[in-house]
Amino acid sequence: MSIITEFLHNRIIIVSVVSWAAAQLIKIMIDLITTKRIDWELMLSSRGMPSSHSSFVCSLAVSTGLGYGFDSVYFAICFVLAFVVMYDAAGVRRAAGYQAAVINRVIDMLNIKMDEKLKELLGHTPIQVTAGALLGTVIAAAAYAFI
């Protein structure tokens, strides 16, 4: 079997990607409901509800636990990775977004010309991270229960 074929048949990767895509589609649907328009840029956005990063890594961890056991070294690695990603999304990247907002205001006050403003919506709220984690967990559990 070729590397590409093996990759495309890897159940854990497929479940994780489906979980990421589901989170991104939910973001688009929530935005459609609130703004009455479709913003396709949200499909690749790292902001909003639910956190696709959290969904992705939680589905990875749960899939790995279900496939190899929750006492396996594989699950331990995925669990630690998920924790770091979710902490970063709700902590470090969110703080960086606040800092970008302050810097953008200072640049405006000083009338400094910039090609573009710094991105302010970088991270997630704890609720967005939790929703993503729950989505990833449910999708992985469903995939292993019904497939």
The rounded distance, in Å, linking the Cα atoms of 109 and 107 is 6
More confident call, 56 vs 2:
56
What's the confidence (pLDDT) of residue 14? 95
Q: Which 8-state DSSP code applies to residue 98?
A: H
Task: Pinpoint the alpha helices (H) of 44-125.
Answer: 52-68, 73-87, 93-109
Whole-model pTM: value is 0.77
pLDDT tens string 8-50: 889 999 999 999 999 999 988 888 888 888 877 766 666 778 9
More confident call, 88 vs 107:
88
Q: How many residues does the chain have?
A: 147
More confident call, 22 vs 146:
22
